[in-house]
């Protein structure tokens, strides 16, 4: 039987504060295949980053998670700390939004990349340094033998993100989770970084799990997409279906709020993203939805199939 | 429409290490007419925000001339300067940082009315309510503090405060960047309504090319402190003349599936504005550079009717 590389089943994450529990991720299910390009789209607070951190088991201590995450046939929640440490950086690695806060300011970038290699592979320091130079070359940093001696502050934002990517691919992982990897960068640098990640994904035959709020990036790069709202997956489909046969009012709202050519009025999603402790009983999007009917307020809809491999959490998915 | 704002050879040089200068804004000239939206686009560090602050004289320029509504901004003092600032307001990227956390919304917006003697103290509340309505906020916002609002609502408060003095123009410095996509559209629509209904002019500073294309009438592209291309928005987006503009436009991921346009990937990073490359400042990254580019600085000229560009190709 065909096993996906990663499968996340019914993942929920709650935070406990003042004896109250707040569910920030609720029943998220998805899978990532080998050599897949999978994306989760959502706005701030939708729970997309917490979903990613759950996979690495890097949630903050006051967060409680439930569900099942299976990577290469093994349940991540059942792994010991030592097993997790082995897995992180070797089998799955992560690239974050802000490279400056992800790099240690008091060590050279060369040292920080070599550290990953020395931790996971049985090689000498000399070999690790040589390999580091190779890695910097593969992320297209000019004169890598000199740049390994740089500290993070001596590099530009784009360069630092390249260093992060070099670290992420150091041990040839089968999955890279990239959480808003280009949000802090300018568009011309963003184009460089995405081109680089896409190329490395093909070359090293990795899977990429991209988290973003930018529908443009999704349209150009991803194969399959899930849209998150208030901790839930509201729509899942191939990238073509998301854009051409949109099946959820929120996804439609996101697409329609993007600036169009001059003269075309934008159709914003009204209201605000709700606070997690003030979510309505039925459909969580109902208060902002243009297609709302009384039934929406009664019961939270399930993910229903719209077509093959296309699901939407909307009782009117077929009509919109 | 008559001219409202005119910049002539405006410069801002910051001294670095005593002998070098960081040329944040270098020889920038443009004009904005009444009820026009002038877009200013460029990547971080290109000088667009510095230019925004110079227009209001929140920082002093190193040279050049700025005329707003017939008044000389750079030599204005006292009464005259406050008259200029009543006509010319600014909103910033981070609305939370622009609002005093210890003031209620009534005081925040009311202060602008009182300081400028717009209405008598008794009428302040009615006028604030009026302004809140204009930007789409409820009257129960009056006695709340800024932390009680969401990002989009805070930006509306900043817009209401700017509108309090009945300005003719607002400099909007990245007003969307801190907001989520679904909220950005609300703010763009609000700015657009203000422009259409009240004839407000805007200098709209943004790195978001989609928003610039949607909202601006004219647009200037900045690179390393200089305008490299300026024209009507339609022409610029349809047929960019400067290779930098071309690369910038092609770099934006388009939110549509199907046919992909050709992408120009620029080499390297933006050089430091302290060590600007000789010749054309863009030549080290340019995909169309040829012989004169690394030695001769291109002249900024009107290459076609109403299309200004500084590039040896034109």
Q: Which of A142, A158, A268 comes nearest B186 by C-beta? A: A268
User: By C-alpha distance, which of B200, B178, B233 is closest to B39?
Assistant: B233
Mean pLDDT, rounded, for A164-171:
94
Contact B223, B44 (CB under 8 A): no
Cβ–Cβ gap A44/B180 under 8 Å: yes
Mean pLDDT of chain B: 93
Neighboring chain A residues of B260 at a CB cutoff of 8 Å: 220
Cβ–Cβ gap A268/B189 under 8 Å: yes
Mean pLDDT, rounded, for A226-232:
95
Contact A71, A174 (CB under 8 A): no
Report pLDDT for B267. Answer: 84
Q: Which of residues 211-250 of A touch B (CB under 8 A)?
A: 213-221, 239-240, 243-244
The Cα–Cα gap between A145 and A132 comes to 9
Relative to beta strand A37-41, strand A224-229 is: parallel
E strand residue ranges, B69-139: 71-72, 88-91
Helix axes B181-198, A249-256, angle to 10 degrees: 50
Mean pLDDT, rounded, for B84-95:
93
What Cα–Cα distance (Å) separates residue B255 from each residue in A269, B54, B248, B249?
17, 35, 16, 13
Mean pLDDT of chain A: 92
What single DSSP character describes residue A259?
A: -
The count of residues in chain B is 314
pLDDT tens digits, one per residue of B147-195:
999 889 999 999 999 999 999 999 999 999 888 888 899 999 999 999 9
Neighboring chain B residues of A192 at a CB cutoff of 8 Å: 265-266
Q: Which of B182, B247, B252 comes nearest A253 by C-beta? A: B182
Neighboring chain A residues of B208 at a CB cutoff of 8 Å: 259
Cβ–Cβ gap A268/B182 under 8 Å: yes
Q: Taking 60 as the threshold, does the pLDDT of residue A1 lie above it?
A: no
Cβ–Cβ gap A189/B256 under 8 Å: no
pTM of the model: 0.88
E strand residue ranges, A149-241: 175-179, 207-212, 224-229, 232-238
Q: Which of residues 52-111 of B touch A (CB under 8 A)?
A: none
Alpha carbon of A138: minimum distance to chain B alpha carbons (Å): 15
Report pLDDT for A21. Answer: 86
Report pLDDT for B66. Answer: 96
- Confidence bin at A101 (pLDDT 50/70/90): confident
Cβ–Cβ gap A262/B214 under 8 Å: yes
pLDDT tens digits, one per residue of A39-72:
999 988 899 999 999 999 999 998 999 999 999 9
A153 touches chain B (CB under 8 A): no
The Cα–Cα gap between B4 and B261 comes to 38
Contact A164, A96 (CB under 8 A): yes
Mean pLDDT, rounded, for B293-312:
94
Mean pLDDT, rounded, for B4-9:
96
Contact A173, A91 (CB under 8 A): yes
Token pair belonging to A273: 């993203």
**Which residues, 6+ apart, have CB-to-CB distance to B193 below 8 Å?**
none
User: By C-alpha distance, which of A60, A78, A61 is closest to A69?
Assistant: A78
Contact B292, B311 (CB under 8 A): no
pLDDT tens digits, one per residue of B186-238:
999 999 999 999 999 999 999 999 999 999 999 999 999 999 999 999 999 99
Contact B75, B240 (CB under 8 A): no
The number of CA neighbours under 13 Å toward the Cβ of A147 is 23
User: By C-alpha distance, which of B212, B253, B260, B255 is closest to B236?
Assistant: B212
Q: Which of A195, A220, A260 comes nearest B214 by C-beta? A: A260
Q: Taking 80 as the threshold, does the pLDDT of residue A260 lie above it?
A: no
The count of residues in chain A is 320
Neighboring chain B residues of A255 at a CB cutoff of 8 Å: 255
Rg for chain B, CA atoms, rounded: 21
Q: How many helices (H) and strands (E) does chain A have?
A: 11, 12
What single DSSP character describes residue B171?
A: E
Query: What strands lie across the sheet with A6-17, from one edge to the other?
Result: A20-32, A6-17, A63-71, A74-75
What is the Cα A30 distance to its own chain's centre?
12
**Which residues, 6+ apart, have CB-to-CB distance to A183 below 8 Å?**
A97, A212, A213, A214
Among A97-101, A136-140, B6-10, B132-136, which range has the highest average pLDDT? B6-10
Q: Which of A158, A221, A261 comes nearest B214 by C-beta? A: A261
Tokens 């998220």 locate to A28
Neighboring chain A residues of B252 at a CB cutoff of 8 Å: 187, 216
Q: Which of B150, B185, B251 comes nearest A188 by C-beta? A: B251
A41 touches chain B (CB under 8 A): no
ipTM of model: 0.83
Report pLDDT for B262. Answer: 80
B197 touches chain A (CB under 8 A): no
DSSP helix/strand/coil, B2: coil
**Domains in chain B, please, with CATH?**
3-310 (3.40.50.300)
A150 touches chain B (CB under 8 A): no
Q: Taking 90 as the threshold, does the pLDDT of residue A200 lie above it?
A: yes
Token pair belonging to B266: 């620029």
Report pLDDT for A54. Answer: 95
Helix axes B181-198, B151-163, angle to 10 degrees: 20
The Cα–Cα gap between B312 and B314 comes to 5
Report pLDDT for B293. Answer: 94
| Count of Cβ atoms closer than 10 Å to residue A154 Cβ | 12
């Amino acid at each position: 039987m065909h096993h996906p590389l990663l499968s996340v089943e019914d993942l929920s994450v709650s935070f406990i504060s003042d004896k109250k529990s707040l569910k920030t991720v609720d029943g998220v299910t998805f899978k990532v295949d080998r050599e897949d390009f999978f994306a989760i789209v959502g706005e701030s607070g939708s729970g997309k980053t917490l979903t990613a951190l759950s996979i690495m088991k890097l949630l903050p201590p006051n967060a409680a998670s439930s569900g099942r995450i299976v990577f290469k046939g093994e349940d991540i929640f059942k792994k010991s700390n030592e097993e997790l440490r082995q897995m992180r950086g070797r089998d799955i690695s992560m690239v974050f939004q802000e490279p400056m806060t992800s790099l240690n300011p008091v060590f050279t970038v060369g040292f920080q990349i070599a550290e990953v290699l020395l931790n996971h592979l049985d090689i000498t320091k000399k070999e690790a340094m040589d390999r580091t130079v190779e890695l910097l070359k593969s992320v297209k940093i000019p004169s890598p033998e000199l740049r390994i001696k740089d500290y993070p502050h001596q590099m530009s934002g784009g360069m630092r993100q390249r260093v992060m990517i070099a670290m992420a691919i150091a041990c040839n992982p089968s999955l890279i989770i990239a959480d808003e990897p280009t949000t802090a960068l300018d568009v011309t640098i963003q184009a460089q970084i995405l081109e680089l990640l896409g190329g490395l994904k093909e070359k090293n035959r990795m899977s990429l799990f991209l988290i973003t709020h930018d529908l443009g990036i999704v349209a150009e790069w991803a194969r399959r997409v899930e849209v998150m709202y208030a901790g839930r997956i509201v729509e899942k489909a191939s990238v073509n279906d998301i854009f051409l046969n949109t099946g959820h009012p929120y996804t439609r709202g996101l697409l329609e709020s993007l600036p169009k050519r001059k003269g075309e009025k934008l159709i914003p999603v009204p209201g605000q993203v709700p606070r997690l402790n003030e979510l309505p009983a039925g459909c969580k999007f109902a208060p902002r939805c243009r297609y709302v009917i009384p039934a929406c307020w009664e019961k939270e809809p399930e993910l229903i199939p719209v077509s093959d491999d296309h699901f939407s959490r909307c009782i009117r998915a077929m009509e919109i | 429409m008559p001219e409202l704002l005119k910049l002539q050879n405006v410069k801002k040089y910051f001294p670095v290490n005593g002998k070098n200068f960081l040329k944040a804004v270098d020889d920038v000239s443009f004009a904005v007419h009444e009820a026009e939206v002038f877009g200013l686009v460029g990547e971080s560090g290109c000088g667009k925000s510095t230019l925004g602050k110079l227009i209001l004289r929140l920082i002093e320029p190193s040279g050049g001339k700025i005329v707003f509504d017939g008044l000389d901004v750079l030599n204005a003092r006292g009464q005259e300067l406050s008259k200029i600032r009543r006509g010319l307001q600014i909103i910033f990227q981070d609305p939370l940082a622009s609002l005093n956390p210890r003031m209620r919304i009534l005081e925040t917006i009311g202060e602008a009315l009182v300081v400028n003697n717009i209405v008598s103290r008794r009428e302040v509340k009615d006028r604030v309510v009026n302004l809140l309505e204009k930007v789409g906020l409820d009257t129960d916002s009056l006695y709340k503090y800024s932390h009680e609002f969401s990002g989009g609502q805070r930006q509306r408060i900043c817009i209401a405060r700017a509108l309090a003095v009945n300005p003719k123009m607002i400099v909007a410095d990245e007003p969307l960047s801190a907001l989520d996509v679904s909220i950005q559209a609300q703010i763009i629509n609000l700015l657009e309504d203000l422009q259409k209904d009240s004839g407000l002019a805007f200098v709209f500073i943004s790195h978001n090319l989609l928003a610039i294309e949607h909202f601006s009438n004219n647009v200037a592209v900045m690179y390393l402190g200089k305008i490299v291309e300026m024209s009507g928005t339609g022409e610029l987006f349809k047929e960019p003349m400067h290779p930098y503009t071309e690369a910038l436009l092609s770099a934006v991921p388009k939110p549509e599936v199907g046919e992909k346009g050709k992408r120009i990937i620029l080499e390297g990073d933006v050089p430091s504005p302290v060590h600007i490359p000789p010749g054309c400042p863009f030549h080290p990254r340019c995909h169309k550079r040829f012989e004169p580019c690394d030695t001769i600085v291109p002249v900024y000229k009107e290459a076609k009717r109403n299309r200004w560009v500084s590039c040896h190709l034109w």
